[in-house]
Structure 1
Amino acid sequence: MASIANLQRITAKDLSELILAEAGSQDPSYAIVDVRDDDHIGGHIKGSINIPSRTLEAMIPTLLRKLESKQTVVFHCALSQQRGPSAALRYLRETEVSRPGVPPSSSETEVEAAAEGAIEKAKQEGQTVYVLDQGFVGWQELYGEDDRLTSGYRKELWKNGYWG
């Protein structure tokens, strides 16, 4: 059964290689969704979309349309322990629930089954959904000062390893 615990993870190294391989592409095959809220200050992965977790519910229909052609979708927050994985799971569930035949008012059991089906459907259709391992905290430790991969980085905000 689909849950936060069994979502696929991608390392910062693997994501950086994907970004660099498609550098300059007008329509990259991937999308990065940063669900940090106020802690978005101090830098972000180049090309990422910031959808604060508090607005995710309202933005899901837009994300579904915007990301439907992407082969890879990566969600993250600061540590990718709660908000990032929750957003990825919500996205996966909505890809299935929003399809005809699965009413929005489905029971929790039906939604869990739909989420499991969504993961399989996404794999079959070529879209893979990941959570960035260690979130932006891990990312900035490796690539914060690499302007090919990170935008708006402010080292002084990350001097202790975590924004704040």
Structure 2
Amino acid sequence: MTTENAPWYAAYPKPKNTSPDSISRSEVLDRLDRGEQPGRDFLLVDLRRNDHEGGTIRGSLNLPAQSLYHSLPTLYNLCDTGKIDIIIWYCGSSRGRGTRAAGWFDDMIKEKGHKSMKSVILLEGVSGWAAAGKEYSDMMDGYEKEVWEKM
């Protein structure tokens, strides 16, 4: 049971893996430029909820971190069945929600004994992506330049 002032994640177990692997935005952009498709070749998960404005990386699935934990087994089954072997998590910076979600999912992968599936965070999150220049912002759905300029 959590108190009214406790953070949302206090209601869930702490991930065993608190330092999941990461992937750079240039590596993700390279995948997209090679024609790889999110949802088929890899999965991009945007964990933002109330701060989900200014756009999202093209092909991302929005699964807010605050309601994610109980959906992880279903997401794992979908990725396993679809042979998606890398799941890339991000939030604004990928230092809080991104790290926690990637850790939870990595814990599940290890518990299931899956050898080829990876759970990683996008370094610097969507804020880093949006600030990295036109080649990145062109790969965003709903990109709003003025939102990112305020950050």
Residue aligning to 1:153: 143
Partner of 2:29 in structure 1? 16
Distance 2:66 2:39 in 1: 28
Question: Counting helix residues as a fraction of each chain, which structure ranks higher?
Answer: 1
Match of 1:45 among 57, 62, 67: 57
**1:45 Cα offset (Å):** 0.7
3-state secondary structure, aligned to 1:74: strand
Aligned to 1:3: 17
1:34 corresponds in structure 2 to 46
Report whether the alignment pairs 1:93 with 2:83.
Answer: no
SS at 2:147 equivalent: helix
Determine which of 118, 134, 143 is the counterpart of 1:128.
Answer: 118
How many angstroms does 1:4 deviate by?
Answer: 2.1
Aligned partner of 1:113 in structure 2 is: none
Q: Percent identity at matched positions?
A: 25
5+ residue gaps, structure 1, are 100-120
SS of 2:137's partner is coil
Deviation at 1:82, TM superposition (A): 0.7
Relative to structure 1, the CA distance from residue 139 to residue 62 in structure 2 (aligned partners, 3 Å threshold; closer, same or farther) is same
Question: Residue by residue, what CA displacement relative to the aligned partner does 1:66-121 show, whole Å, maximum 9, x if unpaired?
Answer: 22211211011100101001001111222344x4xxxxxxxxxxxxxxxxxxxxx4
Retained in 2: the 8 A contact 1:51–1:59? no
Match of 1:80 in 2: 94
- Whether the aligned pair in 1 keeps the contact of 2:90 and 2:121 (CA below 8 Å) is yes
TM-score (structure 1 length as normaliser): 0.72
- Structure 1 residues 144, 42: CA separation in 2 closer, same or farther (over 3 Å shift)? farther
Pair 1:59-2:51 in alignment: no
Q: TM-score, normalised by structure 2?
A: 0.78
Q: Secondary structure of the residue that 2:51 maps to in structure 1?
A: helix
3-state SS in 1 of match to 2:43 = strand
Equivalences, count = 132
Seen in structure 2, the aligned counterparts of structure 1 residues 41 and 26 have a Cα distance that, compared at 3 Å, is closer
Of 118, 129, 138, 2:128 maps to: 138
Cα RMSD (Å) of the superposition?
Answer: 2.0
